[in-house]
């Protein structure tokens, strides 16, 4: 099993997209990329912790590749808007890929270069590629939020 961590706006919808992907074993929503230890949702919402709302994915690389996870990430948010997704504004909603090894870092950076070169999006990608830091799971009520409510998404279509 391997781990991938993505931030693409509000973590509820992002989690549901990855949770239902064949080859994904588990998903957790939480906070990463900041400096505050053990942040709460209320802490992160202040914009002062430096954390992003993120989804940590445990996946079987024999069933789903990291490249496929990157494609899902790109196709389900707008990576050209800084610190916002749809109506959600703030640094906690930034687009970021938190890499767990050198291979993930290279794939993420190559993916950005290829998408920018192909002009898939009308504006340059502003997604951060950063080494994975401590991942703090969000409060229980955030975990599998949409699934618990029988909802398939709160999806915001990306602008290409």
Residue 62 has pLDDT above 80, yes or no: yes
Provide the percentage of residues in the chain whose pLDDT is more than 70.
94
> 40-72 burial by CB neighbour count: b if 16+ within 10 A, else e?
eeebbeeeebbbbbbbbbebeeeebebeebbeb
Residue 152: band (very low, low, confident or very high) from pLDDT cuts 50, 70, 90: low
DSSP single-letter state for residue 30: E
Q: Token pair for residue 160?
A: 């290409």
User: Which of the residues 4, 7, 8, 10 is marked catalytic?
Assistant: 10
Annotation marks residue 10 as catalytic: yes
Q: What is the pLDDT of residues 79-120, one digit of tens each?
A: 999 999 988 999 999 999 999 999 999 999 999 999 999 999
Provide the percentage of residues in the chain whose pLDDT is more than 90.
82
Residue 30: band (very low, low, confident or very high) from pLDDT cuts 50, 70, 90: very high
Residue 55: band (very low, low, confident or very high) from pLDDT cuts 50, 70, 90: very high
Q: What ranges in 41-144 are assigned the alpha helix state H?
A: 41-45, 66-75, 102-118
Q: What is the CATH number of domain 2-148?
A: 3.30.1060.10
Q: How many residues does the chain have?
A: 160
> 111-137 burial by CB neighbour count: b if 16+ within 10 A, else e?
bbeebeeeeebeeebbbbbbebeebbe
Q: Which residue ranges make up each domain of the chain?
A: 2-148
Q: What is the pLDDT of residues 122-147, one digit of tens each?
A: 999 999 999 999 999 999 888 887 77
Taken in order 51, 53, 58, 64, is the CA torsion positive or negative?
Answer: negative
């Amino acid at each position: 099993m391997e781990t991938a961590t993505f931030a693409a706006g509000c973590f509820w919808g992002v989690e549901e997209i990855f949770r239902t992907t064949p080859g994904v074993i588990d998903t957790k929503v939480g906070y990463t990329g900041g400096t505050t230890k053990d942040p709460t949702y209320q802490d992160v919402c202040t914009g002062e912790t430096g954390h992003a709302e993120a989804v940590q994915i445990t996946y079987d690389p024999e069933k789903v590749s990291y490249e496929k996870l990157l494609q899902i990430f790109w196709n389900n948010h707008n990576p050209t808007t800084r610190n916002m997704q749809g109506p959600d504004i703030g640094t906690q909603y930034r687009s970021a890929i938190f890499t767990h090894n050198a291979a993930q870092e290279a794939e993420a950076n190559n993916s950005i270069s290829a998408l920018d070169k192909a002009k898939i999006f009308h504006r340059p990608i502003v997604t951060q590629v950063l080494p994975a830091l401590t991942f703090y799971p969000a409060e229980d009520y955030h975990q599998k939020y949409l699934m618990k409510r029988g909802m398939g998404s709160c999806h915001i279509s990306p602008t290409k």
